[in-house]
A = this chain, B = another copy of it.
Amino acid sequence: MPDRRVIGVDMGGTKLLAGAVDGRLSVHHRLQRPLTGLDQPKLLDTVTEAVQEAIDNAGGEVDAVGFGIPCTFDQRTGTAVLAINLDMKDLAFGAIMSERLGVSCYVDNDANMAALAELRAGVATGVNDALMLTIGTGIGGGLILNGALYRGSIGAGAELGHMVIQADGPRCQGNCPNRGCVESLASGTALEREARRVADQQPDSALGQAFSAGRAPLGPLVTELAHDGDPVAREVLELIGTRLGVAFSSYTNMFNPELIIVGGGVMAAGDLLLEPARRELAKRALPPARDTVQVVAARFGFEAGMIGAAALALEGDSEVRA
């Protein structure tokens, strides 16, 4: 009898990543599809075809599919709310996929799925209380409380990137109407904005020269120059890391977590970002919670959402059960 397999699907704003995954969360077959600009019918067709291909190549019996999607959910209606770059409005996505594919489908927020991957097979294994931030263009949040994902009363919670740290700060991005959210001040987008500002102010620095020479994308460039020792690039990461540390002090005082886990593309900067965050946290948070919390890098990189979505399917758990 072949092994049991599930399909984990991470639907980013620009592309889909799917994998056939076994019970130990090892990935056996991977595929990608571009999603940019698809209308709702084309989006559904593309996802159906991709998942079917993953099922056909899974190397075992597939009985469930999990999806991680960058949006908030409303459990009352089973629909996605605020999926920034995907045309998912008023779509009962899980129910439709379940009907088309003929297997159980489970749907959740992509940042929750990244947290679940860390809980089941990453740095949060065996941990009861942990927060996870996925820092890229925006900041996704996942909450592990009492050893399980916490999603809030209608499944719309854990938006850790949309906690205000500066009430009169800049307008947040996408559909967030707030000001001074962590996302508006410490996301990859904010990092690029600050890098541009510092490059303009110090055109003779390594960062300023690289910027004048038109090198891009700016986020990875800052990280590369900072790793090479450019003090100006390091200053940018220090600023963003310090702002993260302000947020970490609030999380620590409220959740008293064992771990704050940081993942996403910005984590290429590693401790150049996390060290200033740890220093600011230590200065601001209350004892004894500040003395026990650890700020760590995620284990999983770009596959975190896919692996977490597979874990969701394996467990038959869902916020929006199809």
> Which chain A residues have a beta carbon within 8 Å of chain B's beta carbons?
72, 74, 81-82, 128-129, 141, 143, 145-146, 150-160, 162-168, 175-179, 243, 246-247, 249-250, 253-258, 283-289, 292
- Please name all residues of chain B whose beta carbon is closer than 8 Å to the beta carbon of A287 when the two chains form the complex: 72, 81-82
Contact A150 B145 (CB under 8 A): yes
- Please name all residues of chain B whose beta carbon is closer than 8 Å to the beta carbon of A156 when the two chains form the complex: 256, 286, 288-289
Contact A292 B153 (CB under 8 A): yes
Interface of A is mostly: loop
Contact B177 A74 (CB under 8 A): no
Contact B254 A284 (CB under 8 A): no
- Please name all residues of chain B whose beta carbon is closer than 8 Å to the beta carbon of A246 when the two chains form the complex: 164, 167
A245 to chain B, nearest CB (A): 10
A288 vs B89: C-alpha distance when bound (angstroms): 13
A312 vs B225: C-alpha distance when bound (angstroms): 56
A154 vs B257: C-alpha distance when bound (angstroms): 8
- Please name all residues of chain B whose beta carbon is closer than 8 Å to the beta carbon of A154 when the two chains form the complex: 256, 288-289, 292
Q: Which of B74, B176, B179, B289 contacts A288 (CB 8 A)?
A: B74
- Please name all residues of chain B whose beta carbon is closer than 8 Å to the beta carbon of A250 when the two chains form the complex: 162-164, 250
Contact A255 B289 (CB under 8 A): no
Knowing that A72-B288, A128-B153, A250-B250 touch, tell me 8 more A-B residue pairs with CB under 8 angstroms: A143-B254, A152-B255, A152-B256, A154-B289, A159-B253, A163-B254, A165-B167, A178-B249
Known: A159-B253, A164-B249, A165-B164. A153 touches B258 (CB 8 A): yes
A178 vs B74: C-alpha distance when bound (angstroms): 35
- Please name all residues of chain B whose beta carbon is closer than 8 Å to the beta carbon of A82 when the two chains form the complex: 286-287
Residue of B whose beta carbon sits closest to that of A250: B163
